[in-house]
């Protein structure tokens, strides 16, 4: 069913043209199915601390898990209405296409071929990353250019494999890989000394290093050889759910930009700032056209927090992962995280 929401007269007030005024509530089979079953099925990693991994209470936690929780908060007013499916890199897109999961939130790089050839859509960039190299400190390696012929541990079905091949070829280095399907095998092979080098997204290197018996015995080389914009992914062809997924991500950013957090969101309901009123559904209704309620973003912020809260809690400088905001700072703070306006 397609429902006309705005009259032409109302549209004038929204700054929309008469044709754009025929805005619609898109139907979303995915959203309907999620509502019917009562939870969001979220595809995650097998365990990358800070991104998605079981915590000390065996509860899934991390920046990418918080994104799944935010979607559930927006739909159900309940951030815990999520079930998690751990997936290897090779399994992830098939699981999404086959409908085994609703959202893939699993250290997944946005590339053109994935976005245009797999029947999927990347929602946005939750974490701007780049590929790096982890080596043993005792080996005294200073640069990736010193890695010719070194045994390199890699997970298959990743951009990691392709970038490393490009880099070694471009620099005329001998490329010698040891490839595994499972991340645990990759890490174990590196720890056992079967490889000299472990390469993947540098955030994941920091995450894995934090789990080693002696993290200080390993160094991440300064070289970053690729762009790895990591983001959630949904199936192509359900624009309604794509919008829910995308604006959930933007709401996390917009909340940070406007200074709205889980701690102050209730006070912020009384704010005079029109942008905060729109975000929280105090003025206007941006939720109903998504198939949600008008306090959708209030629920996200109240139950999960804003982007900065998730970042600092799971991967920020005060965590064992210890990642500075860098490119993931908001645009006004020197990074490139940016939400379009909610209006
Ligand atoms: N971002 C790259 C790499 C993704 C990837 O699979 N990274 C590994 C490195 S830690 C991972 O998340 N493994 C977790 C697992 O296999 O459970 C991609 O999208 O291809």
Angle at 64 between CA 251 and CA 227, to 5 degrees: 95
Helix locations, the chain, DSSP H: 8-14, 29-37, 63-76, 92-97, 112-117, 159-170, 183-191, 202-211, 239-257, 265-268, 274-280, 296-303, 307-314
- Residue ranges of the chain that CATH labels 3.40.190.10: 28-128+230-328, 131-225
| 301 pLDDT higher than 80 | yes
Going from the Cα of 244 to the center of ligand 1, the distance in angstroms, rounded, reads 25
State how far the Cα of 158 lies from the Cα of 162, in Å rounded to an integer.
Answer: 7
What pLDDT was estimated at residue 25? 66
* Residues 169 and 176: beta-carbon distance below 8 Å: no
Average pLDDT over residues 15-43: 79
Query: pLDDT confidence of 50, banded at 50, 70, 90?
Result: very high
Going from the Cα of 153 to the center of ligand 1, the distance in angstroms, rounded, reads 13
Average pLDDT over residues 88-116: 98
What pLDDT was estimated at residue 177? 96
Ligand 1 contact, 284 CB (< 6 A): no
| 8 pLDDT higher than 60 | no
* Three-state secondary structure call for residue 137: helix
| 21 pLDDT higher than 50 | no
Token output for 131: 């590929």
Lowest average pLDDT, out of 20-24, 38-42, 122-126, 214-218, goes to 20-24
What pLDDT was estimated at residue 12? 47
Choose among 106, 105, 109, 333: nearest CA to 229. 109
What pLDDT was estimated at residue 26? 67
| 319 pLDDT higher than 70 | yes
State how far the Cα of 177 lies from the Cα of 163, in Å rounded to an integer.
Answer: 12
Average pLDDT over residues 71-82: 98
Point out the ligand 1 atom lying closest to the alpha carbon of residue 129.
1
Query: pLDDT confidence of 23, banded at 50, 70, 90?
Result: low
> Strand 60-61 to strand 127-129: parallel, antiparallel, or no bridges (unpaired)?
unpaired
Assigned architecture for domain 131-225: 3-Layer(aba) Sandwich (3.40)
State how far the Cα of 55 lies from the Cα of 70, in Å rounded to an integer.
Answer: 18
Query: pLDDT confidence of 24, banded at 50, 70, 90?
Result: low
Name the strand (E) or helix (H) holding 291. Answer: none
Mean pLDDT of the chain: 93
CATH topology of domain 28-128+230-328: D-Maltodextrin-Binding Protein; domain 2 (3.40.190)
Ligand 1 contact, 154 CB (< 6 A): no
Q: Nearest 10 degrees: CA dihedral of 167, 173, 176, 181? A: 0
Angle at 316 between CA 39 and CA 109, to 5 degrees: 60
pTM greater than 0.75 (yes/no): yes
Point out the ligand 1 atom lying closest to the alpha carbon of residue 92.
6
232-268 per-position pLDDT tens digit:
999 999 999 999 999 999 999 999 999 999 999 999 9
């Amino acid at each position: 069913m397609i429902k006309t929401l705005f009259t032409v007269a109302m549209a004038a007030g929204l700054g929309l043209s008469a044709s754009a005024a025929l805005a619609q509530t898109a139907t979303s089979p995915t959203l309907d199915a999620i509502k019917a079953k009562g939870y969001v099925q979220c595809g995650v990693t097998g365990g990358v601390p800070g991104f998605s991994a079981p915590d000390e209470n065996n509860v899934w936690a991390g920046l990418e898990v918080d994104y799944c929780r935010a979607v559930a908060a927006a739909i159900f007013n309940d951030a815990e209405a999520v079930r998690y499916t751990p997936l290897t890199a090779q399994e992830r897109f098939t699981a999404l296409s086959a409908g085994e999961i609703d959202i893939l939130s699993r250290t997944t790089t946005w590339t053109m071929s994935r976005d245009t050839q797999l029947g999927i859509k990347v929602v946005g960039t939750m974490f701007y990353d780049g590929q790096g190299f982890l080596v043993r400190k005792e080996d005294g390696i200073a640069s990736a250019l010193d890695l010719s012929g070194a045994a390199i541990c890699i997970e298959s079905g990743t951009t990691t494999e392709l970038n490393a091949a490009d880099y070694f070829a471009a620099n005329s280095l001998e490329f010698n890989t040891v490839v595994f399907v499972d991340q645990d095998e990759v890490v174990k092979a590196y720890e056992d000394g079967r490889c000299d080098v472990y390469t993947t997204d540098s955030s994941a290197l920091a995450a894995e290093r934090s789990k080693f018996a002696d993290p200080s015995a390993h160094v991440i080389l300064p070289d970053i050889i690729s762009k790895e914009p990591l983001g959630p992914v949904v199936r192509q062809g359900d624009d309604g759910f794509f919008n829910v997924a995308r604006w959930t991500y933007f709401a996390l950013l917009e909340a940070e930009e406007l200074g709205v957090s889980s701690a102050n969101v209730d006070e912020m309901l009384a704010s005079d700032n029109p942008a905060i009123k729109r975000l929280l559904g105090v003025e206007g209704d941006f939720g109903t056209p998504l198939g949600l309620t008008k306090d959708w973003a209030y629920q996200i912020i109240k139950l999960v927090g804003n982007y900065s809260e998730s970042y600092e809690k799971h991967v920020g400088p005060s965590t064992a992962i210890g990642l500075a905001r860098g490119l993931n700072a908001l645009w006004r703070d020197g990074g490139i995280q940016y939400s379009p306006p909610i209006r």
